[in-house]
Structure 1
Amino acid sequence: MSRFRVICGVVGALTVPVAAHAQPVATLPAPPAIPFVPSPVGGWTVTVGIGGEAAPSYPGADSQRFSPVPIISVRRAGTPRQFKGMRDNISFAVFDNGAGFRAGPAGKYRRARKASDYSELTGLKDVDYAIEIGGFAEYYAIDWLRLRAEVRRGFNGHEGIVADFAADAIVPLSERLTFAFGPRYTVTDSKFAATYFGVTPVEALASGLAAYNAGGGSSAVGAGAQLRYQLDPQWEVRGWVEYDRLLGSAADSPIVTMRGNPNQLTAGVGVAYSFDIAIR
């Protein structure tokens, strides 16, 4: 059975309509006030869900790996549903000026690269999982155009810096169906590039690849698209595809040119459920 049919089967099993909640499903105590940050007291709509996607097995890989993907977003109850791109990493807006600009912390989990799992990586060192922590800022230049940037610093598996930039045109195709698409661009520093695209002299002897000193700079450019269908006030289904073309030092790495692929494609589907909570 193909990955697509498996994903569709999971979505079909999970997307059983349920009755709308008239009242918040939970009431939480208010956290301490933070200067210059809007009070969290009041009603909130939380969206949580799960998706599955086929993505490159590791940066620069010619193979793909299927993995689960979380869907999480929070907004003030009664406010319009915000666009959430599947390229967006986990984030929370602690600043919102109410005029289209939001900013706050952001984070990403990057899975490990184990050489023993892939014959083309034989002789290269393992790269442990990484936690990337940083922040995001997004701005709606006009109602249907969102600009977003994330800058994150890695811990554990790598200690580099990654900056992702995206623009999304958001087009309502019907009352329930929304389509979004736009360009993508990624910049990394030399520490990140060396971790995932560099080949040390010792690794060169063990792997048969040429030694390579990867540097920072433009890492990838591409585009992404997403369809979101609202089944009812609580349930929604999403499908997405993201394409990246590796650039510069990443594209020139022998890990990519000899045994990988500069064209990186990700595709997936997911289901999410929204509910209200109150903070008093």
Structure 2
Amino acid sequence: MPNSPIVEDMKKLFALVLAVSGSAASAQTPTTNPMPDGSRDMYAGLGIVSAPRYDGADRRKVSALPVLQVQWSNGVFVSGMSAGMHLSGSPTAEYGPLLAIHPRRSESGFGGRIGDVQGATLLPTSVRETMSRTNRLAGMDEIKARPELGGFFNYYVTPEWRLTSSLLAGAGNDRHGVRAEVGIQRLALQLAPHHTVSVSAAMQFANRAYVHEYFGVNPGQAFVSGNPEYRPGGGLKDVRIGARWNWVLTPSWMLTSSVQATRLAGDARLSPLVERPNNVTVSTAFAYRF
């Protein structure tokens, strides 16, 4: 029996990627969406997200959440803060180039910014140590936003399950940071009419340059910030599990909500910048299909 138009929308909408402001989460690729030549599919919306200020932060921030996903019939897509192109014609494999923007990290964390701490080197040691306890990024160098280039490969074990992987390079002030992710997703599990849930699990790896940039403390930073020196190596950075609930209100409107739990691992977890190795990000947004 053929599916209704709303159910078909739900199957396409499960892969909607939320552009979480200030998040360093890996770029995600939407599923291939076969369309007539010259056509496009576009979703846009707005919501809110509650997330840690940076990877390993104890304090959280609530931010506006823009939502954007566009797919063209030629395979090109824009999904949140990433863009790429599906090159495969196979129904069981997806692959292609990937471009993402890794967000800026200031003393206030990813995205936002607080006032600069001028003359911190003149503060007594006790004051600098107090600063590091209240904000471990105080005195740390700002890490600028950088474009990352790489690719993705996904393989469908069954129509409902797919293995995912991506590789991105270019993060950090020196642009030497490289990160890779492997994961698995269960797609569009229908709980009730108009309601679907997708679940995922993933591991993210990073090279030494990336981990040192975001979790290391060099001698100059240690003197300014009060954090101890730390020289981490590369390897497993974190493990994550997540779930997304999509509620299709009409053929054009959808409420999409997600929760993601992350645990830092390896040398990243042992960093003096890490206040809390386990964290949860939650978000909800309305999206409109054009």
TM range (shorter): 0.7 to 0.9
Name 2:93's counterpart in structure 1: 101
Q: Scaled by the length of structure 1, what TM-score is found?
A: 0.72
Q: Deviations over 1:215-237 (max 9, x none)?
A: 11000012000000111111111
In the alignment, which residue of structure 1 is the partner of 2:127? none
CA distance in 2, matches of 1:227, 1:221: 21
Question: Partner of 2:228 in structure 1?
Answer: 210
Letter in 2 for 1:115: E
CA deviations 1:29-61 (Å, max 9, x no partner) are xxxxxxxxx998343322233343122211221
Contact 2:191 2:197 in 1 (8 A): yes
Distance 1:218 1:183 in 2: 14
Report the 3-state secondary structure (helix = DSSP H, G, I; strand = E; otherwise coil) of the residue aligned with 1:142: coil
Partner SS state of residue 209, structure 2: helix
Q: Is the 8 A contact 1:112 1:128 kept in 2?
A: yes
Aligned to 2:52: 56
Change (3 A) 1:188 1:109: same
String of CA shifts for 1:150-199, please: whole Å, max 9, x gaps: 21112564430111222111211123111111212100111111111001
Aligned to 2:266: 248
TM-superposition CA deviations, 1:50-75 (whole Å, max 9, x none): 34312221122112223324331426
Q: Which residue of 1 aligns with 2:150?
A: 134
8 Å Cα contact 2:155-2:162 kept in structure 1: yes
Structure 1 partner of 2:255: 237
> Alignment partner for residue 193 of structure 2, among 154, 175, 181?
175
2:245, 2:70 → 1: CA distance? 17
Report the alpha carbon displacement of residue 108 of structure 1 after superposing the two structures with TM: 2.8
- Counterpart secondary structure, 2:136: helix
Alignment match, 2:216: 198
Amino acid at match of 1:138: N
* Residues 1:59 and 1:104: Cα distance change in structure 2 (over 3 Å): same
Cα contact 2:169–2:176 (8 A) shared by 1: yes
Q: How many residues end up aligned between the 2 structures?
A: 227
What code does the residue aligned with 1:159 have? Answer: H
- Secondary structure of the 2:273 match is helix
Alignment match, 1:80: none
Which amino acid in structure 2 is aligned with residue 169 of structure 1? R
1:120 is the counterpart of 2:136: yes
**1:71 partnered with 2:87:** no
Q: Comparing 186-195 with 164-173, which one deviates more in the overlay?
A: 164-173
- Tell whether the 8 Å contact from 1:50 to 1:272 is kept in structure 2 after alignment: yes
Bigger relative contact order, structure 1 or 2 (CA pairs below 8 A, ≥6 apart): 1
What CA distance in whole angstroms lies between the structure 2 residues aligned with 1:60 and 1:70?
25
Contact 2:102 2:145 in 1 (8 A): yes
Aligned positions of 1:39-54 closer than 5 A: 41-54=37-50
Matched, 1:186 2:204: yes
- The amino acid that maps onto 2:212 is A
Give the conservation status (yes or no) of the 8 Å contact 1:49–1:72: no
Mapped to 1, the partners of 2:160 and 2:72 lie a distance apart of: 18
SS at match of 1:45: strand
Of residues 282, 287, 290 in structure 2, which corresponds to 1:267?
Answer: 282
User: Separation in 1 of the partners of 2:232 and 2:165?
Assistant: 24
**What percent identity do the matched residue pairs reach?**
28
| Structure 1 residues not aligned, in runs of 5+ | 1-37, 78-83, 276-280
CA distance in 2, matches of 1:206, 1:45: 50
Q: Which runs of 5+ in 2 are unaligned?
A: 1-33, 109-113, 115-133
Q: CA deviation at 1:91?
A: 3.4
- Which of these residues, 235, 246, 255, is aligned with residue 228 of structure 1? 246
The secondary structure found in structure 2 opposite 1:195 is: helix
Q: CA RMSD in A?
A: 2.7
SS at the partner of 2:144?
A: coil
Deviation at 1:119, TM superposition (A): 2.9
- Equivalent-residue separation in structure 1 for 2:35 and 2:43 (angstroms): 20
CA distance in 2, matches of 1:162, 1:268: 24
- 3-state SS, counterpart of residue 92 of structure 1: strand
